[in-house]
Amino acid sequence: MVDTTIGAAGVIQPAEVKDVELYHPKSWVTKYVFCQDAKVIAIQYAITALGIGLVALVLSWLIRLQLAFPSSFSAIGPTDYLQFITMHGMIMVIYLLTALFLGGFGNYLIPLMVGARDMVFPYVNMLSYWVYLLAVLVLVASFFMPGGPTGAGWTLYPPQAILSGTPGQDWGIILMLASLILFIIGFTMGGLNYVVTVLQARTRGMTMMRLPLTVWGIFMATVLALLAFPALFVGCVMMLFDRILGTSFFMPAIVEMGQHLKYGGGSPLLFQHLFWFFGHPEVYIVALPAFGIVSDLISTHARKNIFGYRMMVWAIIVIGALSFLVWAHHMYVSGMNPYFGFYFATTTLVIAIPTAIKVYNWVLTLWRGDIHLTVPMLFALSFIVTFVNGGLTGLFLGNPVVDVPLSDTMFVVAHFHMVMGMAPIFVIFGAIYHWYPKVTGRMMNEALGQFHFWVSFLGAYAIYFPMHYLGLLGVPRRYFEMGDMAFIPQSATTLNIFITMAALTVGFAQMVFLFNLIWSLFWGKPAGSNPWRATTLEWQTPETPPGHGNWGKELPVVYRWAYDYSVPGAKEDFVPQNQPPTPRAA
Amino acid sequence: MTTAIILVLVALGSVLFHILSPWWWTPIASNWGYIDHTINLTFWITGFVFTAIILFTAYCVFRFRHQPGRQAIYNPENKRLEWWLTIGTAVGVGALLAPGLFVWDQFVTVPKGASEVEVIAQQWQWNFRLPGEDGRLGASDTRNVSSSNPLGLNPNDPNGRDDVVIEGDALHLPLGKPVKLLLRSIDVVHSFYVPEFRAKMDLVPGVVTYVWFTPTRTGTFETLCTELCGAAHYNMRAKVVVEEASEYQAWVRKQKTFAQLSARTRQAKGTQ
């Protein structure tokens, strides 16, 4: 049986270490700018990530306009197009999703949910944000340099990434690599904080097996990131050396446009291995926090304990471990030794098992629940749809023979947008609607939220579901235009126009979301401290929004797991984690 | 209620779209029908799972929606159910993996007697080389590339003298004969893809990769580059013509060998 309450004795161990004193801000600057409070850092991360995310959103409109109306925009040339797709992908994966889940939600929720006053290294935590901001600024700078940003694709495969046939060879690629290096440095500072805080700063009674799944997801994702980002880091440094110093880590003998280059002996495949050794865990760095958060959204809004908590925790751990053994499934047709395919296919399909368990448990949590169709719950449902869809198409691409015809087609684009684009972003939206009342003290507008949800969910599905079939037909990705290829029927253009219309509509709905975000700050309904009647600790703070140090005088003490919803015989349909057990009548 | 109905519509709409979609794979022109079968099998299994999960979710949303007086049940876990679901999933995954690996073994094992053709990619053009009458490809190296020797053949290798060089033009292949493509690039990573053949493989500078297939249908097909290779990536195409053996032989006879091309360049230089 799950460790739901404190046990027969009901004894809570005394604290082993003394409560630490925090640095208290003395001025406006140390309170809101160079701030060491994880909650403020979280908001800084979130605003920066959403801001740069808007750039990626606009780029996606330009990409879609070009694909739907290939000869209508004289301002978009083939090199511009490559720059758009590269920057769109890189921003979304690294600077938005990774930063928002870990830097944003991680910072806000970890200390509150484990019952800590703050992160364990507040100063390093503050530094983490400022280095991240610098990374974003370097990235943005590349738009304004001669030659523009790099157009090497977000995968940055050498040799083309640093050769003159690819746009952004002058400054774009250098700034891209520099920005990634900075991002990883900044992330490492934050990441160490998240891991150590979860391991060391949990309040009394908060055992690991009582952590809310949100914390488990973010914790495990951070562990993955700390192990995976170094591979990207060295890859970036080596490519930077190849570009600037003329080394040949990734560069064999090359004749470019008739000119013999001074490279020789390097291996382009080495970069691909380094990139995907990072790149595959990266998928789970984004997915695991989403898994965790959505579990809590579903449980809270269905008023029911998450089904199979221990299995959920183990699935997160197993998925995290397996994610390091599957990277070369991105490389079945890369020219690596094809016999690797047997191994990577097996590990890849095995990872479907713990992932499927998670899906079953979310759905079984709904079973015989008391489902409140609030906006966070709706987004959780849309996560289930898009994640199941994208996860299942992963079974196509993980199987090497099926991957051969589909690799580098629009099928892949549709697959990863569904599974690591839409699914995690819907969780982010759900999470913002869910925790906004805690962060600001006000509810977001429900009607606008419903509108935002329905347009985003149905629109996004209309974009990506049909897109798979273009890939099945054989339409390649990263193509400026399809041209007059004999095997592509005219109707494919019609489909592309439909997809673009859906994309522009979904884009418009995001403006409604941003409006809601700002409008509710001033005119939203006052929320109170626990509007969703949730059990986890962040809803039990003495103040809303929580003050510096989170808990007032006394740290909370935890007596039960995070999922005591609808407990038979309890007065309310939720029992907060810090509520002491009532002595049972014998 | 509305939410549940929309979820049902999403599930059924997806199935309907799949059945009615005019966008489907091209008629196959190679021996890789197995690949199509595996994709079909995958569609059946995943389609079933997708529909089942979404319909179940829709049912829960409808049946257990909040109403006054409703209370959720309290059941933290159910070991038996969880294990059954795990085993069921493992069986489904095995059903996808086993045929996949079986076909992959064929995909990477080139049959004896396959004829060899070299594909050499560069920004942004496809070149080809046939072994010539001796049936052997001469040695080559990117470092030998020059304007008179665009594919970088070793001029001192006698095996290379009769090699047929096709620069930026269509490749012809005889019908029904297994062919092993040896893939090489002189600048960046490219990828050889003919949708009708289903086969695809990257061309990586510095190494030689391969892919094999047997053309099973005559006609003219399009080779696309499917690995981002720079500004004109979208335009890097070539024709592949599959024809009867006699026509193929006639075409080969019209092509120039490496020796002929080198002699011609020497002459051209001499007259300058």
pLDDT at residue B271 in the model: 57
Query: Quick one: pLDDT band at residue A14, thresholds 50, 70, 90?
Result: confident
The beta-carbon neighbor of B3 closest among A378, A392, A491 is A378
Tell me if chain A has a CB within 8 Å of the CB of B177. no
Q: What is the pLDDT of residues A193-242, one digit of tens each?
A: 999 999 999 999 999 999 999 999 999 999 999 999 999 999 999 999 99
Q: Taking residues A306-319, what's their average pLDDT?
A: 95
Query: Quick one: pLDDT band at residue A433, thresholds 50, 70, 90?
Result: very high
Tell me if chain A has a CB within 8 Å of the CB of B21. yes
Query: Quick one: pLDDT band at residue B270, thresholds 50, 70, 90?
Result: low
| Closest to A540 measured CA to CA, from A288, A219, A203 | A203
Pick the residue from chain B with its C-alpha nearest to A254.
B187
> In whole angstroms, what is the distance from residue A568 CA to residue A520 CA?
36
Please say if the pLDDT value at position B260 is more than 90. no
Residue to test with chain A: of B38, B233, B236, most A Cβ within 10 A? B233
Q: What is the pLDDT of residues A47-56, one digit of tens each?
A: 999 999 999 9
Pick the residue from chain A with its C-alpha nearest to B83.
A357
Core vs surface per residue B82-95: b (16+ CB within 10 A) or e: beebbeebeebbee
Integer-rounded Cα Rg, in Å, for chain B is: 27
pLDDT at residue A583 in the model: 62
CB contact under 8 A, B108 and A357: no
pLDDT at residue A2 in the model: 52
Closest-CA distance, A564 to chain B, in angstroms, reads 8
| Closest to A131 measured CA to CA, from A197, A93, A92, A180 | A180
> In whole angstroms, what is the distance from residue B34 CA to residue B218 CA?
20
Query: Quick one: pLDDT band at residue A459, thresholds 50, 70, 90?
Result: very high
Contacting A residues, span 472-491, partner chain B, CB-CB under 8 Å: 472-474, 476-483, 485-487, 489, 491
Please say if the pLDDT value at position A20 is more than 90. no
Which residues in chain A have Cβ-Cβ distances shorter than 8 Å to B101?
Answer: 342, 345-346, 400
CB contact under 8 A, B74 and A356: no
CB contact under 8 A, B26 and A473: yes
pLDDT at residue A323 in the model: 94
Q: Taking residues A254-271, what's their average pLDDT?
A: 94
Please say if the pLDDT value at position A496 is more than 60. yes
Query: Quick one: pLDDT band at residue A1, thresholds 50, 70, 90?
Result: very low
> In whole angstroms, what is the distance from residue A496 CA to residue A499 CA?
5
Q: What is the pLDDT of residues B43-89, one digit of tens each?
A: 999 999 999 999 999 999 999 999 998 899 998 888 899 999 999 99
Task: Tell me the C-alpha to C-alpha distance, in Å, between residue A424 and each of A158, A293, A319, A546.
Answer: 29, 10, 16, 26
Which residues in chain B have Cβ-Cβ distances shorter than 8 Å to A378?
Answer: 3
Tell me if chain A has a CB within 8 Å of the CB of B71. yes
Q: Taking residues A332-338, what's their average pLDDT?
A: 94
Whole-complex ipTM: 0.95
pLDDT at residue A428 in the model: 97
Q: Beta-carbon neighbour count of residue A526 at 10 Å?
A: 11
Length of chain A: 586
Q: What is the pLDDT of residues B125-181, one digit of tens each?
A: 999 999 988 889 999 999 999 988 999 999 999 999 999 999 989 999 999 999 999
Its pTM stands at: 0.95
Tell me if chain B has a CB within 8 Å of the CB of A548. no
Are the C-beta atoms of residues A376 and A445 closer than 8 Å to each other? no
**What mean pLDDT, rounded, does chain A reach?**
93
Query: Quick one: pLDDT band at residue A6, thresholds 50, 70, 90?
Result: very low
Strand partners, B94: none
Residue to test with chain A: of B74, B180, B217, most A Cβ within 10 A? B74
Top mean-pLDDT range of A15-19, B9-13, B266-270: B9-13
> In whole angstroms, what is the distance from residue A268 CA to residue A251 CA?
6
Question: How many helices, marked H, and strands, marked E, lie in chain B?
Answer: 5, 10
Please say if the pLDDT value at position A24 is more than 50. yes
The beta-carbon neighbor of B64 closest among A2, A356, A369 is A369
Which residues in chain B have Cβ-Cβ distances shorter than 8 Å to A480?
Answer: 233-234
Q: Taking residues B101-119, what's their average pLDDT?
A: 94
pLDDT at residue B77 in the model: 84
> In whole angstroms, what is the distance from residue A573 CA to residue A567 CA?
7
Q: What is the pLDDT of residues A344-402, one digit of tens each?
A: 999 999 999 999 999 999 999 999 999 999 999 999 999 999 999 999 999 999 999 99
Are the C-beta atoms of residues B240 and B223 closer than 8 Å to each other? yes
Please say if the pLDDT value at position B36 is more than 90. yes
Pick the residue from chain B with its C-alpha nearest to A409.
B226
CB contact under 8 A, A335 and B201: yes
Assigned token pair, A504? 């522009």
Query: Quick one: pLDDT band at residue A586, thresholds 50, 70, 90?
Result: very low
Q: Taking residues A60-87, what's their average pLDDT?
A: 94
